[in-house]
Amino acid sequence: AGKPSSSQSLAKTHSDAELLLLKAQLQVRVSKFREAVDTLDEVLERLEAESRKVENASQMLESQVLQARFFKSQAFVGLQEFKVAEKEMLSLLSKFQDKLEALGREGFLKVYFLQEALGKIQLQMGKCADAEKTLVEALGKLKSAGANPELAAPFMEKIEQKIEECRVKIIERGKKGIRGMVQQLMPGKKR
């Protein structure tokens, strides 16, 4: 097989993947999360097979791999499988973060969105300390992207608000724990 066929095959994989990614997004939108996961697994399988065949196809296919894995994480959120969603996002960031940041501004913004999504998942899991760390890091990426302060302000406020909500939850949880202990120590006292 000559060069043309490999580039044709690459183009076909790319356009098939685009369609499947759209299909998965629609499935997520109509809450068909399990089906979306299946669609995305199919996308990822095809992309991996193609990138094994073509040496320098990585750039084109990698952005689709990134999208597919991000949507997959969101589908798991829809299924309330937060642990799996978190794991998917963590592995995504460890694989792509450095590559993205090497792209400069555009890449930093992508990392910001990924970290914000991860932070939201951690908030839903009640992992406030992790979420805070993730979201503070996300804020840093927004600043590294050189985001215009006026534009960035609402994002920053949103993130700071999320962190605050989480802190309040932790304090509440702590109080409940202490209250429970006090009640155990003084069983005679009814509140």
Sequential DSSP letters for 33-69: HHHHHHHHHHHHHHHHHHHHH-GGGHHHHHHHHHHHH
Q: What is the pLDDT of residue 187?
A: 59
Per-residue DSSP letter, 177: H
Entry pTM:
0.79
Output the tens digit of pLDDT for each of the chain's 191 residues: 445 567 788 888 889 999 999 999 999 999 999 999 999 999 999 999 888 887 666 677 888 999 999 999 999 999 999 999 999 999 999 999 999 999 988 898 899 999 999 999 998 888 888 998 998 898 888 888 886 767 777 877 887 888 787 778 777 777 777 777 677 776 564 54
